């Protein structure tokens, strides 16, 4: 089938090229229209149900969003008139903007609140800017508001959720541009080294750029159908450049090899499609399968990143089987033009054969050394701690990060974490005598929990009142109550709910804060009311729990489908399981490095990061992407080994020849992937940096220790069992006829 496709493309090369260009133009038009991307997650857990009730029934939850400004001076105190005038002058443009609802300063707040807005040193003031729009709308025009804020007298540092979200958006965009500027020239340099000719080197790079452009267009089309994370753009560029260049590298290399053996341009193209084209297709399927595992995480940004990655892999395969062979048909022997003045040696092939034969002479010794070494590198993963992405995911010098650090240092009240507790009474109003009594008992029980500083809410308005006093007070008509109590009830009591707030001095992602959430959830009910815990800590716990609950199914699907595809490629049931186990070794090394660097803080100064818990998305993304990418080299290597084995029937010789023929190519392809991924490791956003660095490490380990040492050793020990399959499955594979057709080819010395 693939050989026939090669002949077809050769005969209709101009038409194939024209269709590819039309697709590229259409992709460009889609890109010019753009789309709406966001990083929101909608996991339907307890925290989301509680937040929905708050938003539906309480006024403050449906209001707009806010951001903070920290004004500071090295010499002036906050109560100095010059400080006050400078603050007011700076805020004047904001107050005139119709999108700003209110601005709260130490100078227009009640005395009790004003004290909390003055820093510890007396030289910093906290100002809160309330916006009329929701968070999603406000983040898009925050930059315009920020441009209005400047002072010649005071230092002004913004922070808060909107500021953090804006910085994430800005850094993601700049990271993407930087990665492209760095990776493309380096990839071209490596391609020149691998091929030694300019024309051959430019072809894979061109296919990579086409795949990325079409992949990005596919993301924007997808954004009109469903929510798509902004991280998807980085994933498309990261994966698209790596796989498209690698796939093109395999095809061009095989085409040149067949030309060197004396085949015509058409025969060389057909043979390249029948071998490398076939391997690329199956390799792309394994990568797409790995990425499709992310679709099991619906409601999170992972699903859209998986879909985006699968789209760009599809385009990489499409261009690799259409645009690239059409160009090869046109340039023909010209693929070797513009040769570099560098003498190329074939000694590396002999080196790979020598290495393979040496490994197969002592396979047990090699495995005893190599496998524990990789497992040792992965051992830090046993100390993994998962927590949601926050301001620590930005570089320490980011404006919102600096503002956050300054705010927590100067304003003690901002160091407190609020855990929102919603008590839902669906059968009737919440302020009956019995329910008030149950709520009173609940608030005191929560206040007694370890690490809880205090509980705020309608049952904590007056320390002098006891259980009976609150039952009497809160069941009276609201019109008869004092104004402060009416306002407190308006803010915390809805049609069927009552909101309480547990306050702790521990950070929201800390273990003590998580312990409070778990303890409250274990209480479960207050009278006939259901207790729902929400807020940042609760959402964090629900996200981690959701990820962990879906991971076994996703991993099982990826492993099963990958084994199926490899069986169709190889006709063996042993090699697919061997491939899965060796892939697991590569992944373990990258996981260990991720924890060692980003959680434990090694090289934090060099990488410009703040050590913190690992975002729960990172291990899932790494597994799904790396599992598929590692199969690239597995498919290429095993295809060459199988080709030799079917010709001679000698397993040991086939392994040596397969590594000899593909070792240099795999090394070059891996070097290109490492360069592309390392360019993303230079990102400012920690999530992208962690994925880029983790993938670079995984590919480097996979292409060296795993493919060069572990795979030959295991295949030597398995011998003829490498190619075993039960008779019914073997007959099925022969009937499907997916194997390569034998071809007699002349080989020059």
Asked which of 419-423, 430-434, 511-515, 569-573 is least confident by mean pLDDT, the reply is 569-573
Q: Is 267 among the domain residues?
A: no
Q: How far is CA 74 from each of CA 49, 105, 421, rounded to the nearest angstrom?
A: 46, 19, 41
Q: Is 24 among the domain residues?
A: no
pLDDT number for residue 660: 86
pLDDT number for residue 748: 34
Q: Is 43 among the domain residues?
A: no
Q: Is 257 among the domain residues?
A: no
Q: How is residue 260 written in tokens?
A: 């060197």
Q: How many domains is the chain partitioned into structurally?
A: 2
Q: How far is CA 312 from each of CA 240, 282, 309, rounded to the nearest angstrom?
A: 6, 15, 5
643-657, pLDDT tens digit by residue?
Answer: 888 887 888 888 888
Q: Which residues have CB under 8 Å from 257's CB, separation 6+? A: none
Q: Is 461 among the domain residues?
A: yes
434-452, pLDDT tens digit by residue?
Answer: 999 999 999 999 999 999 9
Q: Is 19 among the domain residues?
A: no
Q: Is 715 among the domain residues?
A: no
pLDDT number for residue 342: 61
Q: How far is CA 700 from each of CA 501, 586, 711, rounded to the nearest angstrom?
A: 49, 9, 15
327-355, pLDDT tens digit by residue?
Answer: 999 998 998 888 877 655 555 557 888 88
pLDDT number for residue 747: 39
Integer Cα distance of 382 and 71 in angstroms: 43
Query: Which residue is listed with tokens 């002999």?
Result: 350
Q: What angle do CA 525, 529, 531 make, to 5 degrees?
A: 50
> Residue 39 pLDDT > 80, yes or no?
no
Query: Which residue is listed with tokens 């001076």?
Result: 73
The secondary structure of residue 100, as a DSSP letter, is E
> Residue 237 pLDDT > 80, yes or no?
yes
Out of 527, 548, 567, pick the residue that ends a domain.
527
CATH number at residue 140: 3.30.70.1430
Out of 159, 190, 222, pick the residue that ends a domain.
159
Out of 465, 498, 527, pick the residue that ends a domain.
527
Q: pTM of the prediction?
A: 0.85
Q: What is the 3-state secondary structure (H, E, C) of 486-548?
A: HHHHHHHECCCEEEEEEEECCCCCCHHHHHHHHHHHHHCEECCEEEEEECHHHHHHHHHHHHH
380-404, pLDDT tens digit by residue?
Answer: 999 999 988 778 889 999 999 999 9
Q: Is 217 among the domain residues?
A: no
> Residue 741 pLDDT > 60, yes or no?
no
Range of the domain at 518: 426-527
pLDDT number for residue 642: 85
Read off the pLDDT band of 276 (50, 70, 90). confident
| Mean pLDDT for the chain overall | 89
Integer Cα distance of 275 and 661 in angstroms: 13
Read off the pLDDT band of 737 (50, 70, 90). low
Read off the pLDDT band of 60 (50, 70, 90). low
């Amino acid at each position: 089938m693939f050989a026939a496709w090669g002949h077809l493309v050769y005969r209709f090369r101009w038409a194939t090229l024209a269709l590819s260009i039309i697709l590229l133009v259409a992709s460009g038009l889609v890109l010019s229209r753009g789309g709406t991307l966001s990083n929101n997650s909608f996991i339907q857990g307890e925290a989301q149900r509680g937040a929905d009730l708050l938003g539906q029934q309480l006024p403050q939850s449906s209001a707009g969003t806010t951001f903070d400004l920290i004004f500071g001076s090295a010499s002036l105190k906050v109560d100095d008139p010059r400080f006050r005038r400078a603050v007011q002058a700076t805020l004047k443009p904001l107050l005139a903007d119709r999108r700003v609802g209110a601005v709260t300063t130490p100078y227009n707040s009640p005395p009790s609140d004003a004290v909390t807005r003055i820093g510890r040193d007396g030289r910093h003031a906290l100002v809160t800017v309330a916006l009329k729009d929701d968070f999603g709308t406000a983040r898009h025009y925050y930059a315009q508001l920020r441009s209005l804020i400047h002072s010649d007298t005071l230092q002004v540092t913004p922070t808060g959720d909107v500021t953090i979200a804006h910085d994430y958006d800005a850094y993601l965009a700049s990271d993407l541009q930087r990665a492209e500027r760095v990776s493309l020239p380096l990839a071209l340099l490596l391609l020149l080294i691998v091929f030694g000719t300019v024309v051959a080197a430019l072809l894979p790079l061109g296919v990579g750029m086409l795949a990325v452009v079409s992949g990005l267009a596919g993301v924007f089309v997808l954004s009109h159908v469903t929510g798509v994370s902004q991280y998807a753009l980085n994933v498309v560029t990261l994966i698209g450049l790596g796989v498209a260049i690698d796939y093109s590298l395999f095809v061009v290399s095989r085409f040149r090899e067949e030309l060197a053996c004396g085949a015509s341009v058409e025969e060389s193209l057909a043979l390249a499609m029948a071998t490398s084209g076939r391997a690329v297709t199956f390799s792309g399927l394994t990568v797409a399968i790995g990425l499709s595992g992310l679709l099991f995480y619906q409601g999170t940004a992972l699903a859209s990143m998986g879909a985006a990655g699968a789209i760009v892999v599809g385009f990489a395969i499409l261009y690799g089987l259409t645009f690239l062979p059409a160009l090869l048909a046109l340039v023909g022997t010209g693929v070797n033009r513009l040769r570099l003045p560098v003498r190329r040696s074939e000694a590396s092939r002999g080196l790979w054969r020598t290495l393979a034969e040496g490994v197969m002479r002592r396979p047990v010794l090699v495995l005893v050394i190599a496998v524990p070494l990789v497992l040792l590198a992965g051992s830090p993963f046993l100390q993994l701690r998962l927590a949601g992405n926050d301001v620590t995911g930005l570089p320490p010098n980011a404006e919102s990060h600096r503002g956050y650090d300054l705010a927590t240092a100067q304003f003690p009240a901002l160091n407190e974490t609020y855990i929102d507790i919603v008590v839902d009474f669906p059968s009737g109003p919440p302020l009956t005598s019995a329910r008030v009594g149950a709520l009173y008992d609940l608030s005191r029980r929560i206040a007694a929990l370890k690490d809880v500083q205090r509980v705020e809410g309608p049952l904590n308005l007056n320390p002098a009142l006891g259980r009976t006093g609150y039952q009497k007070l809160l069941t009276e008509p609201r019109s008869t109550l004092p104004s402060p109590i009416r306002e407190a009830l308006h803010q915390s009591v809805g049609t069927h709910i009552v909101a309480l707030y547990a306050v702790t001095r521990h950070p929201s992602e800390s273990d003590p804060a998580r312990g409070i959430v778990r303890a409250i959830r274990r209480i479960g009910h207050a009278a006939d009311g259901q207790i729902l815990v929400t807020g940042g800590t609760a959402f964090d716990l629900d996200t981690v729990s959701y990820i962990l609950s879906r991971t076994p199914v996703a991993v099982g699907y990826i492993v099963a489908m990958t084994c199926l595809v490899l069986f169709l490629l190889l006709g063996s049931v042993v090699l697919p399981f061997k491939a899965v186990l060796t892939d697991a070794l590569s992944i373990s090394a990258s996981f260990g490095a991720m924890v060692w660097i980003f959680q434990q803080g090694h090289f934090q100064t060099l990488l410009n990061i703040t050590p913190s818990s690992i975002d729960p998305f990172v291990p899932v993304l790494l597994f799904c992407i790396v599992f598929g990418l590692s199969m690239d080299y597995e498919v290429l290597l095993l295809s060459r080994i199988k080709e030799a084995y079917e010709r001679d029937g000698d397993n040991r010789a086939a392994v040596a020849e397969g590594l000899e023929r593909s070792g240099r190519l795999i090394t070059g392809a891996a070097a290109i992937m490492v360069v592309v991924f390392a360019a993303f490791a230079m990102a400012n956003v920690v999530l992208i940096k962690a994925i880029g660095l983790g993938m670079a490490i995984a590919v480097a380990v996979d292409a060296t220790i795993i493919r060069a040492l572990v795979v030959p050793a295991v295949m030597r020990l398995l011998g003829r069992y490498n190619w075993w399959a039960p008779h019914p499955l073997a007959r099925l594979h022969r009937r499907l006829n997916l194997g390569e057709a034998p071809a007699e080819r002349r080989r020059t010395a």
